Amino acid sequence: MDTGQKISAIKGGEFIIKDSRVEEVFTPEDFNEEQLMIRDMVNDFVDNEIEPHIQEIEKQKDGIVPKILDKAAELGLLGTHMPAEYGGMEMDTNTNTLINVTIGRGGSAIVSFAAHTGIGMLPLLYFGTEAQKKKYLPKLITGELKAAYCLTEPTSGSDALAAKTTAVLSEDGQHWILNGQKMWITNAGFADLFTVFAKVDGEKFTGFLVERGAEGLTFGAEEEKMGIKGSSTRQVFFDNVKIPKENVLGEIGKGHLIAFNVLNIGRLKLGQLTLSGAIRSHSLSAQYANERVQFGVPIASFGAIQYKLAEQAIRNFASESANFRISNMLQLMEHELKEQGMSYAEAKRVAAEEYAIECSIIKVYASEALDYVVDETVQIHGGIGYSEEFPAARAYRDARINRIFEGTNEINRLLMVDMLLKRAMKGKLDIVGPAWEVQKELASMPAFDTPQGTFGQERKALKNFKKLILMVAGAAAKKQMDKELNLEHEQEILMNVADMMILTFIAESTLLRVEKLAATGKGKQPQDVYDAVLKALFYDYNDAMAKIARDAVASFNEGDLLKTFLMGVKRYTKYPTVNIKEMRRKVAKAVIEANGYPF
């Protein structure tokens, strides 16, 4: 499905130095009729195949989750992102995003779905030989085979390349022999095909395809987890496991390319799935707040509850806006790459690699937004929110893993800054020029121009947010070049820069969506509700950016230089004061009337 857009794709990380346009974004209000029909089908699947069986899923009773995957396969949902030549439906990226932000409300059963369709299938799609793809992909799409991904070990988590599992070639040169163990492996209890990472001759990190039933392949007991109890999680052991030599995945010694590229899409998908869970949890909050009567009135009429309902909605709207913006970035680039002659699979891999920064941003933001939403859902429910008889408690438990999945949020924050600086050093992004312009601007008198247009204040604030990033990152980079600072040992500063990057990208995504709604009139709510979301978000982010930037510059500057930077922080955080209470009440009113997420 073509969105009809003919906009050139921007570079990954370029949002920091380039103003994005409304025409570049895709929003949920842009779905066509076919996409809406797919959404309805996915909603029916969750309503009929998952929701009635939550208790059995939580207990992993009678192999129910593999059966749910089989049902998903019957609807084509295991292959919507796969090439038609292997039996897939080859749907575009925005449609696949819609599927994920719809199906994600299905709870822990969807963890298994995501592991199968994402980290389970994508390594094969991206790096498999044609023979490997023909052998396995059609059966993974139909659900005849289930997939798992074996990367983490007891001594290697975030430091994946420190793996100790080994692979050596047999004396006759016909087989690889694997020894070692993996842990926290989703779908291990029922998977038929495992992507396993091991070191050839103890040093060359390499991917392998291992089939269930291989002699020497054994499994630990199901892990007793805090949440996502319906997903199978086990240790996997390799004791002289012999696999055919043709089951090497990709090149020997290039396993890191598989691991890192697949994680990019894993982070993107996680952002989509956590958004889905957050919207569902928010709707539970609204429904309970409308039903629960205290002191003779529904608790939804209380200002303290309205604050929570509004803030849940604002964070979900922002997450939704950013998710579909990134989705369209990938779709535009994939389209360009395919026009240049790349295959469907290669275009998807290269586009995901290009937007690795944005994938990390949405993984971090959406998972932390979900945590806020589920926490406040429990609080709005009060005592029964703490009871396992009601869904609020399960949502709270299930949410916590997402800040650990696909690289911890701390690792992702460090990665996004590292990737930005590396892109700058390789000449892929001109960060130095814009950073130098900011430094020169700090030495000049500020302009007293009045922002023009309906969203003039937000546009100006967004430009200033970007200048703050360049100011802090540029100053820190210069200190490092002058050997006055070693950023490898200053993770706090890197985290500060990452947080500013996240807030800026999310703010811009929200602004672009609200601007587009103002231009098209496609919103479900009156425009003033969207404007209230935008103003509340910018008002809060302005203060957050000021604090983060102050914390950063004060950690590696002093004296007159510190004073200069602090003046810069003040100069670039001048978003006007708004009646934040009324902004949130306006949003809360829309939530209460919709009895759920109103957008």
State pLDDT tens for residues 124-160: 999 999 999 999 999 999 999 999 999 999 988 788 7
Say if 314 falls within a structural domain. Answer: no
The pLDDT value recorded for residue 2 is 42
Say if 364 falls within a structural domain. Answer: no
Q: Where residue 207 sits, what CATH number does that domain have?
A: 2.40.110.10
Is residue 97 scored above 50 in pLDDT?
Answer: yes
Beta strands in 116-216 (DSSP E): 147-150, 166-169, 175-186, 193-200, 204-211
Say if 59 falls within a structural domain. Answer: no
State pLDDT tens for residues 151-185: 999 988 788 788 999 999 999 999 999 999 999 99
Say if 243 falls within a structural domain. Answer: yes
DSSP strand pairing (193-200 vs 166-169): parallel
CA-based angle 571:575:579, to the nearest 5? 145
Is residue 388 scored above 60 in pLDDT?
Answer: yes
**Which residues are bridge partners to 198 per DSSP?**
206
pTM of the model: 0.96
- Helix (H) or strand (E) segment spanning residue 241: strand 233-244
CA distance 243 to 293: 63
Last residue of a domain, one of 256, 274, 309: 256
CA distance 546 to 540: 10
- Helix (H) or strand (E) segment spanning residue 234: strand 233-244
Say if 26 falls within a structural domain. Answer: no
For the chain, the average pLDDT equals: 95
- What would the two tokens of residue 80 be? 């919507």
Is residue 452 scored above 90 in pLDDT?
Answer: no
Say if 88 falls within a structural domain. Answer: no
**Tell me, what amino acid is at 168?**
V
pLDDT grade, residue 6 (50/70/90)?
Answer: low
Name which of 185-194, 345-354, 394-403, 472-481 the model is least confident about: 472-481
Is residue 461 scored above 80 in pLDDT?
Answer: yes
Three-state DSSP class for 181? strand
CA distance 427 to 446: 31
Q: Can you give the residue range of the structural domain that contains 445?
A: 431-594
CA distance 10 to 249: 31
Helices (H) and strands (E) in the chain, counts: 19, 10
Say if 365 falls within a structural domain. Answer: no
Question: In the block, which residue shows the tokens 């990452």?
Answer: 498
- What would the two tokens of residue 123 be? 């390594």
- What would the two tokens of residue 381 be? 């429910």
Catalytic residue among 58, 334, 376, 406: 406
Contact 114, 268 (CB under 8 A): no
Closest alpha carbon to 104 in 276, 362, 319: 276
Say if 414 falls within a structural domain. Answer: no
> Structurally, how many domains does the chain consist of?
2
Alpha-carbon distances, residue 544 vs 465, 483, 519 (angstroms): 10, 30, 29
Question: In the block, which residue shows the tokens 């009635």?
Answer: 52
- What would the two tokens of residue 89 be? 């439906």
Last residue of a domain, one of 256, 272, 303: 256
Q: Where residue 505 sits, what CATH number does that domain have?
A: 1.20.140.10
CA distance 137 to 124: 8
CA distance 113 to 69: 7
The pLDDT value recorded for residue 5 is 45
Annotated catalytic residue 56 = no
Is residue 484 scored above 60 in pLDDT?
Answer: yes
State pLDDT tens for residues 498-525: 999 999 999 999 999 999 999 999 999 9
Last residue of a domain, one of 231, 256, 281: 256
**Which residues are bridge partners to 210 per DSSP?**
194
Name which of 5-19, 97-111, 322-336, 471-485 the model is least confident about: 5-19
For the chain, the 3-state helix, strand and coil shares in percent, each to the nearest 5, are: 65, 10, 25
**Which residues are bridge partners to 197 per DSSP?**
207
What share of the chain has pLDDT > 90, as a percent?
Answer: 91
